[in-house]
Amino acid sequence: MSVDAVVVGSGPAGSTVAEALTRAGWTVVIFEKGRNHLLDLSDPTKPARDFSNDEIKFLCRHFLGPDPIVEPRTFRSSPEDGERSHTGEVNSIPSTVGGGGTHADGKVPRLREEDFKLLSLYGPQRDASVADWPLAYEELEPFYTEAEMAIGVAGQAGANPFESFRSAPYPMPPGPPMFGATLSAKAAEALGYHPYPAPTAANSVPYGGRPACNNCGFCAFFGCPIHAKGDPVALLMAAMASGNAKLMPETFVSKILTNGRRATGVEFIGPDGTKRSMEARYVVLAAGAIETPRLLLLSGFDHPLIGRNLMVHFQTIVVGSFPMRLHSERGRAVTHVHDDHILMDRDSRAAAREAGLPWIRGGMVEHSGTSLPIAEAKTYPWGPDHKVQMRESPLRDHLWAFTMQGEDLAQPTNMVDLDPQVRDARGFPVARITYKPHAHEVVASCHHGPRLAEVLKLMGAHWTLVTTTPSCKGALGAGILSPIPQSRHVMGTVRMGENPSASVVDSFGRFHDMDNLVVADSSVFVTSAGYGPTLTLVALASRAAAGLR
Amino acid sequence: MDLGKDAQTMGYWLTEQEYRTLSYALERLIPADEQTPGAIQAGVADYVDMLLGAFCFDPPRIWAKGPTSGRYGGQPAFGEFHELSALDELAWRIRIEGSKGIPEREFNGAVTGLQESYRQGLAALGDDFCEIDAQAQDERLRAHPEFTALLYEHACEGMYGAPEYGGNKDLIGWRSIGFAGDVQPRGWSDNEVTSR
Ligand SMILES: Cc1cc2nc3c(=O)[nH]c(=O)nc-3n(C[C@H](O)[C@H](O)[C@H](O)COP(=O)(O)OP(=O)(O)OC[C@H]3O[C@@H](n4cnc5c(N)ncnc54)[C@H](O)[C@@H]3O)c2cc1C
Ligand code: SF4
């Protein structure tokens, strides 16, 4: 059997490509190693009914996969740790039909103009591979607009004074602000920051045949029981409804088949465990920035940059405990954000100079509470105080937090490769992550963290605490969390660029040295910027699809 | 089938003695106080027992179905459980039963399952655990930090997770902390989200 395109991965990136290509009349087969809990495959205009407000199922029992027993990953901070320091869960994004789009809480900001040209605007950093993107914001803007329309983004144009150019308003107004966010936004404003309603891929009004969000509060880490979340339900449903797409869940692509400069198809293992292959005119990789390089390495591709320059976001987490109850279990996880810490000002330049760095940039700051009692309970010690703590709830009902998604510089030594020993249950070497932050991230975090704590104090916090993930030497609150980054934003491992020796793919995600092999996910990112990657990767994926047609 | 009653009378996987030791141990981790009940009254031991005995049921009691529990409208779908795929079953059998020398389960070496961890951990707390005083019980728990950490993890899940998994009886866990639990399809009104 031969099709126009096979797409590996059914997350936001794969769904975007599948939708664009099927709309153009192509036949597309989407391979997804995880199970289908998203769509009713007998009638893809209907969602499945498997998602629920269930903390055990989604947070304690790996409902959306990957299960770290059968699909582990390994981690080490650097080769000095030996072959690995940890085996199990590392940076897992759901492995399921819909990928991470199913349980992200969908803050989907655009990048800003300057994010695409850090090298020419601000210059290099030692030991980091800072580079300009091979495309400008202006070239991506129409695809951002298309992406916001397609997945359904609620937001308010003009509310963020630093926002990049937009050719169209958001398709929906923002949803209701959470109580805590009304307070933190006020405090942030009083200190000169500029909070605005988070652009969110959750319906604030009925949109695209899906209902408005009813604020159930089990949002980040949960599938939406009423399918009010946009990506990637919307795009995958559209692709399936076209009649030109076939979805193959529980099917692991184990190899990209090639013949000289051509990818001829893929080899895959279905739910019954047998190995088969499929031919295609085009092979599109959308397995995410960890699994895409893993698949390339499993297939024997040997460009030295494959897997290199892995970026996450260096998260600075600032929490405060408040006298009033904040009932963060009501509403989406995050309703407000601010961008001020991404910009450089006199203070941040001075901090950079003092640390011997040319510049530092922070990231978008999310205003959020916590809402989950099991997670809260596990943070208190056991014994007679447990119930007192749970009733008083300093770490849930009285807690408010800022998370800064700090820009993480690309470093060639941060990478994904194949673990020399550890295997998945199918017998394939798993992805090994080697990651250690650059001084830039640590300095930026130390600079901005205390400033965010000031906001919480003004908001009325009894106490505040600053910590980071990953934790590392020199970082604030070092040692509280682990050296494994908790950020679920992964980027950079199959970098795009104009120069084939300094990049693997071009600005359309096409391999420099292959005729018909394309990467459509955040593996292609050149810088991490201080923003969640999903809208940008969706925009890049639809541009990559346009490049095929 | 009334899970609560059955669990208390027959158990799923643990022996009667183990079940008793487990209940008393959990009560030390999350004890009742003057204001709210503790782990025994919330049936947390049933949560653990149902996890250890998940494969006594078809489909195994790993993941409750959705989208609603019926507590705020909709169907009581949490009462049924999802079928497992072959890969899911492999993962959960390894986790619960351990690898037991079965080659298919040992692709990364031998794995100790939860059943064995509990059997050994509960035995190590001693047959007389229910008879000794609270202070002595705490000492024994502290003497086995690894097992106690596992117990506490499950104690928190059984106390504050959905009752369909065996714990949080009569919503005691949620009620004692004023948590509404799963709220679909009702959700929260815009006003409830934004106002104090
Ligand atoms: C809790 C949480 C909150 C988040 N919040 C945000 C947010 O607010 N904003 C934001 O921008 N981003 C957020 N993210 C990140 C977001 O989920 C990812 O950026 C996004 O899902 C990436 O899309 P993708 O399609 O590139 O990859 P993925 O979503 O990772 O999808 C890849 C898919 O490919 C499948 N796959 C992998 N390898 C193979 C193979 N060999 N064969 C077959 N299938 C394969 C995987 O199973 C997976 O389903 C969040 C993530 C999490 C976990
Ligand atoms: S808060 Fe809204 S978008 Fe999030 S899961 Fe609940 S209903 Fe869905």
Instruction: For A152-207, write each residue's pLDDT tens digit.
Output: 999 999 999 999 999 999 999 999 999 999 999 999 999 999 999 999 999 999 99
Q: Which of A60, A87, A216 sits opposite B184 (nearest CB)?
A: A216
Helix or strand (DSSP H, E) at A377 = helix A373-379
Q: What is the pLDDT of residues A316-333, one digit of tens each?
A: 999 999 999 999 999 998
What per-residue confidence (pLDDT) applies to A481? 76
pLDDT of residue B6: 43
The mean pLDDT of A415-425, rounded to a whole number, is 98
Which of B87, B97, B139 should one mutate to test binding to chain A, selecting the residue with the greatest count of A CBs within 10 A? B87
Q: What is the mean pLDDT of residues A101-111?
A: 92
Domain boundaries, chain B: 4-194
Q: Give dist(CA A56, CA A218) in Å, integer.
A: 12
pLDDT of residue A472: 87
Instruction: Identify the band that residue B4 occupies on the pLDDT scale cut at 50, 70 and 90.
Output: very low
Q: Confirm or reject contact between B59 and chain A (CB < 8 A).
A: no
Query: Are residues A314 and A441 in contact, defined by beta-carbon separation less than 8 angstroms?
Result: yes
Pick one of 1.10.3720.10, 3.20.20.70, 3.50.50.60, 3.40.50.720 as the CATH number of A2-199+208-213+221-548.
3.50.50.60
Residue A112 CA from chain centroid, whole number? 17
Q: Which residues of A touch B157 (CB under 8 A)?
A: 56, 60, 374
Q: From chain B, pick out residues whose CB is under 8 angstroms from the CB of A72.
A: 108
CA-nearest residue for atom 41, ligand 1, is: A253
**What average pLDDT does the segment A71-90 reach?**
97
Amino acid, res. B71: R
Domain ranges of chain A: 2-199+208-213+221-548
A251 to chain B: closest CA residue: B87
- What amino acid occupies position A116? F
Give first-to-last CA distance, chain B, whole Å. Answer: 41
Is the predicted pLDDT of residue B140 greater than 70, yes or no? Answer: yes
Task: For chain A, say whether B24 makes contact (Cβ under 8 Å).
Answer: no
Atom of ligand 1 nearest to the CA of A532: 11
**Is the pLDDT assigned to residue B7 strictly greater than 80?**
no
Q: What is the pLDDT of residue B185?
A: 97
Round to whole Å and give the CA distance between A128 and A115.
16
- Which residues make Cβ contacts (< 8 Å) with residue A184, sequence separation at least 6? A195, A336, A367, A400, A402, A455, A456, A459
User: Is the per-residue pLDDT at A82 higher than 70?
Assistant: yes
Over residues A100-115, mean pLDDT = 94
Q: A361 CA to middle of ligand 2, Å? A: 32
Which of A60, A64, A69, A179 should be substituted to probe chain B, the one whose Cβ sees the most B Cβ atoms within 10 Å? Answer: A69
- Cα distances (Å, whole numbers) of residue B166 to B12, B63, B79, B89, B121: 11, 12, 11, 20, 21
Q: Ligand 2: residues within 6 Å at CB?
A: A 202, 213-219, 222, 224, 226, 228-229, 332
Compute the distance between CA of residue A4 and CA of residue A281 in angstroms, rounded to an integer: 5
Which residue, among A498, A499, A539, A504, has the nearest Cα to A520 in the 3D structure? A539
Distance of CA A509 to the CA centre of its chain: 18
Distance (Å, rounded) from C-alpha A251 to C-alpha A101?
A: 19
Q: Which of B36, B141, B152 sits opposite A391 (nearest CB)?
A: B36
Q: Is B40 on the interface with A (CB under 8 A)?
A: no
Per DSSP, what are the bridge partners of residue A308?
A415
What are the tens digits of pLDDT across the range A239-278? 999 999 999 999 999 999 999 999 999 999 999 999 999 9
pLDDT at B3 over 50: no
Over residues B167-179, mean pLDDT: 97
Region A420-426 average pLDDT = 98
Burial class of residue A170 in the structure, from the number of CB atoms within 10 Å of its CB (0-12 exposed, 13-18 middle, 19+ buried)? buried
Q: Which of B195, B156, B151 is nearest to B179 (CA)?
A: B156
Residue A275: strand, helix, or coil = strand
A18 to A207, A267, A283, B130: CA distances (angstroms)? 21, 19, 12, 60
The nearest alpha carbon in chain B to A213 belongs to: B187
**Residue A533 in contact with ligand 1 by CB distance below 6 A:** yes
- pLDDT category, B10, cuts 50, 70, 90? low
User: How far apart are alpha carbons A147 and A144 in whole angstroms?
Assistant: 5
DSSP assignments along A109-164, one per residue: PPP-GGGGGHHHHH---TTS-----SS-HHHHHHHHHHHHHHHT-B--TTSSTTPP
Give the closest residue to A440 by CA, choosing from A337, A524, A528.
Answer: A528
Distances from the Cα of B60 to the Cα of B70, B83, B85, angstroms:
21, 7, 11
Confidence bin at A103 (pLDDT 50/70/90)? confident
Summarised one tens digit per residue, pLDDT across range A453-494 is: 999 999 999 999 999 999 988 898 876 778 999 999 999 999
DSSP 3-state assignment of A528?
A: coil
pLDDT at B2 over 50: no
Main-chain phi, psi angles of A218, to 5 degrees: -95, 75
- Is the pLDDT score of A19 beyond 80? yes
pLDDT of the residue at B1: 27
Beta carbon of A178 within 6 Å of any ligand 1 atom: no
Structural contact between residues B31 and A383, judged by C-beta atoms closer than 8 angstroms: yes
Name the residue of A64, A210, A218 to mutate for ligand 2: max ligand atoms within 8 A of Cβ. A218
- Considering only CB atoms, A382 lies closest to which of B29, B32, B187, namely B29
- CA nearest B160 in A: which residue? A374
Q: What is the mean pLDDT of chain A?
A: 96
How many whole angstroms from A215 Cα to the centroid of ligand 2? 5
Q: What is the per-residue pLDDT across A200-218, written as a single tens digit (0 to 9) for each?
A: 999 999 999 999 999 999 9
Interatomic CA distance for residues A89 and A104, integer angstroms: 17
Q: How much distance in Å is there from the Cα of A100 to the middle of ligand 2?
A: 15
Residues A83-90 have a mean pLDDT of 97
Q: Using the 8-state DSSP alphabet, how is residue A205 labeled?
A: S
Q: Are A289 and A443 in contact (CB under 8 A)?
A: no
**A35: which chain B residues are within 8 Å (Cβ-Cβ)?**
85, 88
Q: How confident is residue B132, by pLDDT bands cut at 50, 70 and 90? A: very high
Residue B175: what residue type?
Answer: R
User: Which ligand has the nearest atom to the CA of A486?
Assistant: 1
What's the pTM value of the predicted model, to 2 decimals? 0.97
Query: What pLDDT, on a 0 to 100 scale, did the predictor assign at position B63?
Result: 98
